[in-house]
Amino acid sequence: MTQLSFSDAEHAGKRKRTRREVFLEEMERVVPWPALLALIEPPYPKAGRGRHPYALATMLRIHLLQQWYALSDPAMEEALYEIASMRQFAGLSLLEAIPDETMILNFRHLLERHHLAERLFEAVNRYLHGQGLLLRQGTIVDATIINAPSSTKNSAGTRDPEMRSTKKGQQWFFGMKAHIGVDRDSGFVHTVVATAANVADVTQATRLLHGGEEEVYADAGYSGADRHAEVKGKRLAWHIAGRRSRIKALSAGELRHISEFIEHLIAKVHARVEHPFRVIKRQFGYMKVRYRGLAKNAGQLNILFALSNLWMARKRLLAMPGKMRPVNGKQGSKCAIFA
């Protein structure tokens, strides 16, 4: 156990628990640490090879803190010095060296080089499936626009060449799109695809299916997806919302009443796909892309949606007796074990 500094000891002895402390304690207990660490451990630098690395568990925890609180590398380093609860969650103390922004950046680059973000996302979903929380019988598909900086006042003097402009309603946006496939029953994200903002939603519909679903729900932007060659011959029940103009064109009467009722039922199920978007945008503060290029931002999206799945599942996971607990029962321990 890391020795506590006077500042950390004073923080541990206070009575009131902040919302950040409650949140981090919950995440300590629900994140499947052994599965995630096992994926990163093979390519992670060993002691004696160049700069001495920090403990893998510490760097993973710092990386997750970045995602939860939308912190840049320099801001994350400063937060570790200033915020005791974050420092304890990472298993650090002011009596020892704190990872600097370069170390934090290098860890993210390690995940990018080995395409580990996608594998971490899959590991979280396997864990949830093993707990009986991811059912995979129906899929809801949708997409959201993530803004990117449109200014050219940067070192390159250009906008990100992989981002594009698109018009939604009467407003123009510049950035990328996050396309997701969501489990109909649990509301958890099972598939993530990142594209430029000008890519039509319907073109990505089949990429968001895992292949085992029986029903697919989508809004009017996916009209015609059920006629794509990739899904022909498959036993899939497509529930795609009709365009509002078509419903309004119907004359008042029983046909219009039935059509509106069906649209209401589809919308009621489809609304569940908005929950993960709300979590990453409002709960985690992911309102604008942080990196240049689709690949880096796609990796971050996979981590964010993995964490959103755990956040939405936390109450049910915590209610399961003896599933997971922190080592020694203390917040901020460097790893967790299965009970």
The full set of domain ranges for the chain reads 6-118+320-338, 135-292
Contact between 79 and 90 (Cβ < 8 Å): no
Write down the residue that tokens 């993960």 correspond to.
276
- DSSP of 161-207: TT-EEEEETTEEEEEEEEEEEEETTT--EEEEEEEETTS-GGGGTGG
Q: What does the block give as tokens for 272?
A: 């569940």
The whole-angstrom separation of Cα 130 and Cα 320 is 13
Write down the residue that tokens 């908005």 correspond to.
274
pLDDT of residue 50: 56
The whole-angstrom separation of Cα 330 and Cα 7 is 18
Kindly state the DSSP code that residue 132 receives in the 8-state scheme.
T
Instruction: Tell me the sheet residues that pair with 177.
Output: 145, 195
- In order along its 339 residues, the chain shows pLDDT tens digits of 455 555 555 655 666 889 999 999 999 999 999 999 999 999 998 876 555 678 999 999 999 999 999 999 999 999 999 999 999 999 999 998 999 999 999 999 999 999 999 999 999 999 999 999 988 889 999 999 999 998 887 777 788 999 999 998 889 999 999 999 999 999 999 999 999 999 999 999 999 999 889 999 999 999 988 888 788 778 889 999 887 767 767 777 777 778 778 888 888 999 999 999 999 999 999 999 999 999 999 999 999 999 999 999 999 999 987 654 444 334 433 344 333
pLDDT of residue 337: 34
pLDDT of residue 10: 60
- DSSP of 68-80: HHT--HHHHHHHH
The whole-angstrom separation of Cα 203 and Cα 224 is 10
Contact between 218 and 238 (Cβ < 8 Å): yes
pLDDT of residue 336: 40
Contact between 73 and 60 (Cβ < 8 Å): no
